[in-house]
Amino acid sequence: MTAVLRAALGGLRGRRLQALIIGVVMLSATATSTVALGLLADSHGAFDRAFAQQNGAHVTVTVNTSVADAHQLAATSRLSDVTAASGPFGEVEVNARVTAAGVPGSSTRPLRIVGRSTPDGPMDHITLVDGHWPNGGGQIVVDRGNGVFTGSTLTVGSQRLTVVGTANSITHTAAGWVTPPQIASLRSEGGTGKAQMLYRFAHAESRSAVAADIASVRSALPSGAVLGSASYLDVRQAEQGGIQPWVPFIIAFGVIALVISVLIVVNVVAGAVIAGTTRIGVLKAIGFSPVQVVASYALLVLLPALAGCVVGVVVGNLLAIPMLEVNAHVFQVGTLSVPLWVDVLVPSAALALTAVGGVLPALRAGRMSAIQAIATGRAPRPVHGFFAHRAAARLRSLPRSITLGLAAPAARPARTVTTWVVIVFGAAAVTFGIGLGSTLNRVGDDSPYSRMPVQVSGGTGGQAPSLSDTQQRAVEPVLKAQAGTRHCMTETDAQFSLPGAAQKASAVAYGDTPSLSGIPLISGRWYSASPKAAEVDVNTLFLTDTGTSVGSTYTLISGRYRLTVRIVGEVFKTGSQAGLYLSPATLSRLDPGARPQYFDVALLPGTSAQAYANEVSAALGHSYRAVSSQASTTQFLAVLTLITMLTVLITVVAGLGVLNTVALQVRERAHDIGVYKAIGMTPRQTLVMVVCSVAGVGLAAGIVGVPAGVFLHHAVVPVMAHAASSGYPQSLLSVYSPWELILLGLAGLPIAVVGALGPAGWAAKAGTANALRAE
């Protein structure tokens, strides 16, 4: 065993470049696989893991403290199915004027604020994202999903609160947290006496079980004590609905990364074994048995691979930190981390693959006689190398350095094919990543939140009240006169019962021009605003739940009113609730008392939504509320950042695969390069020759990789839409322009050239004598 280890270490000392390449490629492959598999693992059950880590509450109950006292609330913790209870925490509903740092003016937001002395406790551990927990009066920590950031100022009546941090509650139990004494002070501004109770139950796995749990708490308290309740299952459904659309592209990137890693490892090890065949013959000549030869060479490969895998796992975890924070923001959970089993599985699988890739070629050499192994050496089979060189030599219009480079891949066809496949996957990843980013940009740009980023409503409470005719006449002129207004229209929200369906359908009535909302049509057309036309547009989930299609009729129910409408279009609207869009005239036939609740405003390019909302709030006064919807844009930016990072990682790994191939070629052809230099080849010609040895392969790979990337894009986008319970408009697939496809078709060329520049530079700088001695 000592002789085997000594032979392996001696081989490493003599092949430092080869060992470095194996280590670096394994580092990159392991890091990429760790990131991809870690993201994939965290995309499944992210909410459940975070719920367990943060000891989330199954049910959050808001109670009226003037009806139920502290002793009655404490008694609910002893109910038979209650396993844990926490509270009561003082709670107050306020309308806060928010002033963001660096943004002129302010806007009004309704906030539910809870008093807690610490973020931890027996239940609902609040995770601080930044800043610190309130340690005195005049301080508040806000939920990070509110779009209010650290350093902002909240004004409630005569009181001024400084945002000292942002945090996350897994079930969103509050929009902000202050110290308990601060709650009493806020109540003095007009709030009612409320308290929050948190419960965990022995049986809370289904909606019916949670409903029974809530009923038991309600029956244990005086009538009218329970003002409202929230189930963790509703939050879970919403969060999982937000996770599912992103899972397909994470899987796609993960598969690409793993396949490229496998190909690179096989290419590295096979090339290293072939380059070391002469050495294997020498070891046999001095008495090594076939098993010892194979073991020594396997160790020569596995030792740098082991070092690369260990460092790669560490690097992968470090790279995953910002990505997982992005995912946690998208998934609206506390914190995410790479699971331990991923850190064990990835390097183990990579090492096993390396061992197989190294042992199998070594077994062939181990069966050779010493003379045969030494004679075989590094020489390529003539039928491959020399025929290609003769054919390339006939291209007299090209410089000889170029033809020599173009013919070089034929010397090792298996290695060339593997490198070609690696670049194909790299080009496909670039094409897929750019297409997916364009698709998500289009989804974001065409959403109502982007097309109409400011919403104005009457009143300052949580649920916007209907706007009276007087209020509408007051608001509309102000909006039209405001600098930065592109157009505005009314919005009325309602809900209708669907016969045979458990959930109600959400309904939105826009003004006379619904296309201004920016919602894309999948098929059909927008409804007519004519009072005589009873037409609606619906989302895919509505069609699925009701078994209808575009062109069908359907009867909507609102109380004692019924109306048969015709479905004239299918819109792109994701989510877990059936939705429909109709004209105000059609809505009035189902709900004669319905009035607009909002004015949705589209802005001119370059107008800040938050600054515009602040100016409108100042112009309309405290009786109105104007808010911007930039939080949704933040989510899209987070996902786009994730896509960009994954694309760059995979491209770098593909480039390392090319680096390995060229380094092996340069090492194997060191003597030939010395001869070329001896007969007059210049360093620049040497550089061109080496780069051309992979340039053709890269160009051919790009031509194949682009259609593969487009195909992957066209396959993944519908799956993402289906995961979001929606169909998709054709515009989400038609994101590649002809010129873009042509440029992407050349993507394999820069990947190959950049990967080849390092070894090519070494070959160009190497002296003639050194190259000849490297035979």
- 24/78 same-domain check: no
* pLDDT of residue 374 exceeding 70: no
pLDDT attached to residue 610: 83
Residue 537 is assigned to a structural domain of this protein: yes
- 575/466 same-domain check: yes
Which one is predicted more confidently, 357 or 475?
A: 475
- 64/103 same-domain check: yes
Residue 49 is assigned to a structural domain of this protein: yes
Residue 719 is assigned to a structural domain of this protein: yes
Nearest in space to 766 (alpha carbons), one of 674, 689, 667, 662: 674
User: Which residue, 572, 594, 628, sits at the end of a domain?
Assistant: 628
- Coil, strand, or helix at residue 613? helix
Q: Taking residues 106-120, what's their average pLDDT?
A: 79
Residue 231 is assigned to a structural domain of this protein: no
Q: Taking residues 362-380, what's their average pLDDT?
A: 62
- 198/281 same-domain check: no
Length of the chain: 775
Which amino acid is residue 607, in one-letter code? T
pLDDT band at 383 (very low <50, low <70, confident <90, very high): very low
* pLDDT of residue 677 exceeding 80: no
Distance of alpha carbon 695 from alpha carbon 688, whole angstroms: 10
Distance of alpha carbon 578 from alpha carbon 538, whole angstroms: 8
Q: Taking residues 536-554, what's their average pLDDT?
A: 86
- 549/622 same-domain check: yes
- Coil, strand, or helix at residue 549? coil
pLDDT attached to residue 714: 92
* Cα R_g (the chain), whole angstroms: 33
Nearest in space to 446 (alpha carbons), one of 571, 342, 353: 571
Distance of alpha carbon 479 from alpha carbon 143, whole angstroms: 30
Query: Which pTM was predicted?
Result: 0.71
Q: Taking residues 424-450, what's their average pLDDT?
A: 84
Query: 675-679, long-range: CB within 8 Å, 24+ apart, which pairs?
Result: 675/772, 676/404, 677/766, 677/767, 677/768, 677/771, 678/768, 678/772
Distance of alpha carbon 35 from alpha carbon 642, whole angstroms: 11
Distance of alpha carbon 280 from alpha carbon 363, whole angstroms: 11
Domain count, the chain: 4
Which amino acid is residue 381, in one-letter code? R
* pLDDT of residue 668 exceeding 80: no
Which one is predicted more confidently, 5 or 339?
A: 339
pLDDT attached to residue 330: 53
pLDDT attached to residue 725: 77
Distance of alpha carbon 702 from alpha carbon 748, whole angstroms: 4
pLDDT attached to residue 667: 66
* pLDDT of residue 240 exceeding 70: no
Q: Read out DSSP for 404-438?
A: HHHHGGGGSHHHHHHHHHHHHHHHHHHHHHHHHHH
- 724/756 same-domain check: yes
Residue 472 is assigned to a structural domain of this protein: yes
Of 357-371, 572-586, 612-626, 760-774, the one with minimum mean pLDDT is 760-774
pLDDT band at 82 (very low <50, low <70, confident <90, very high): confident
Average of per-residue pLDDT values in the chain: 77
User: Which residue, 628, 656, 690, sits at the end of a domain?
Assistant: 628
552-562 tens-digit pLDDT? 888 887 766 77
- 603/514 same-domain check: yes
* pLDDT of residue 60 exceeding 60: yes
- 413/474 same-domain check: no
CA dihedral sign of residues 458, 463, 465, 467? positive
pLDDT attached to residue 369: 67
Using a 10 angstrom Cβ sphere, with 0-12 exposed, 13-18 middle and 19 or more buried, the burial of residue 664 is buried
Any idea which residue has 């992407």 for tokens?
A: 744
270-318 tens-digit pLDDT? 666 666 666 667 766 777 677 776 777 677 777 888 888 899 888 888 8
* pLDDT of residue 364 exceeding 70: no
**Omega before 759 within 30 of 0, i.e. cis:** no
Give alpha helix (H) positions in 146-285: 180-187, 207-220, 232-243, 247-275, 277-285
- 365/306 same-domain check: yes
Distance of alpha carbon 553 from alpha carbon 351, whole angstroms: 61
- 664/536 same-domain check: no
- 149/33 same-domain check: no
- 624/489 same-domain check: yes
Q: How far is CA 287 from the centre of its chain?
A: 56
Residue 65 is assigned to a structural domain of this protein: yes
Other C-beta atoms closer than 10 Å to the C-beta of 233 total 18
Torsion over CA of 401, 404, 406 and 410, rounded to 10 degrees? Answer: -170
Residue 210 is assigned to a structural domain of this protein: no
Q: Taking residues 497-520, what's their average pLDDT?
A: 76
Nearest in space to 42 (alpha carbons), one of 304, 250, 278, 301: 250
pLDDT band at 644 (very low <50, low <70, confident <90, very high): confident
Nearest in space to 491 (alpha carbons), one of 512, 474, 522: 512
Domain of residue 54: give its range: 1-58+240-379
* pLDDT of residue 592 exceeding 50: yes
Give alpha helix (H) positions in 103-243: 180-187, 207-220, 232-243
User: Which residue, 598, 628, 658, sits at the end of a domain?
Assistant: 628
The HSE-up count of residue 531 (CA atoms within 13 Å, CB side) is: 3
Residue 730 is assigned to a structural domain of this protein: yes
Q: Taking residues 61-88, what's their average pLDDT?
A: 86
Which amino acid is residue 741, in one-letter code? L
The three-point CA angle 237-243-244 to 5° equals: 90
Q: Taking residues 357-376, what's their average pLDDT?
A: 66
203 secondary structure, DSSP code: -
137-178 tens-digit pLDDT? 888 898 876 667 788 888 887 788 888 988 888 888 888 899
Distance of alpha carbon 617 from alpha carbon 599, whole angstroms: 13
Other C-beta atoms closer than 10 Å to the C-beta of 165 total 21
Which one is predicted more confidently, 266 or 333?
A: 266
pLDDT attached to residue 37: 78
